[in-house]
């Protein structure tokens, strides 16, 4: 998985209209940790497993991460979440 930024996580939650508590349920990362990560615009100071779990949960919910942390990081809300059957 690629590295995501705190900005991308905030934008993803906003686009999906989910709370930090809901993302916590989906990712297994505490809501407190998610809120702390989201205070940073760049690559958050967090463990790789936490960032990977958050990214996987958001992607499963229909988010596509675009750009890189150094060049135009953003998110795209997919109209249909990716499935393994595609």
Averaged pLDDT, groups of 10, the chain, 86 residues long:
88 96 97 96 92 96 91 87 52
Q: Which are the contacts of 13, defined by CB distance < 8 A and separation ≥ 6?
A: 19, 20, 23, 38, 58
Q: Is residue 25 part of a domain?
A: yes
- Look at residue 80 in the predicted model and tell me its pLDDT: 66
Q: Is residue 1 part of a domain?
A: no
What is the pTM for the complete model shown? 0.86
- Look at residue 86 in the predicted model and tell me its pLDDT: 44
Total domains in the chain come to: 1
- Look at residue 3 in the predicted model and tell me its pLDDT: 85
Phi and psi at 12, nearest 5°, equal -65, -45
Q: Is residue 47 part of a domain?
A: yes
- Look at residue 65 in the predicted model and tell me its pLDDT: 95
CB 38, CB 6: distance < 8 Å: yes
Using DSSP bridges, classify how beta strands 63-68 and 71-77 pair: parallel, antiparallel or unpaired.
antiparallel
The parent domain of residue 15 ranges over: 6-77
Q: Is residue 83 part of a domain?
A: no
Q: Is residue 86 part of a domain?
A: no
Q: Is residue 10 part of a domain?
A: yes
CATH number for the domain including 70?
1.10.260.40
């Amino acid at each position: 998985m690629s590295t995501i930024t705190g900005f991308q996580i905030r934008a993803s939650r906003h686009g999906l209209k989910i709370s930090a508590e809901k993302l916590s349920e989906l990712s297994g990362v505490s809501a407190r940790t998610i809120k702390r990560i989201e205070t940073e615009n760049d690559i958050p100071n967090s463990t790789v497993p936490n960032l990977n779990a958050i990214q996987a949960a958001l992607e499963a919910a229909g988010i596509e991460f675009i750009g890189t942390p150094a060049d135009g990081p953003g998110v795209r809300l997919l109209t249909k979440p990716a499935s393994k059957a595609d």
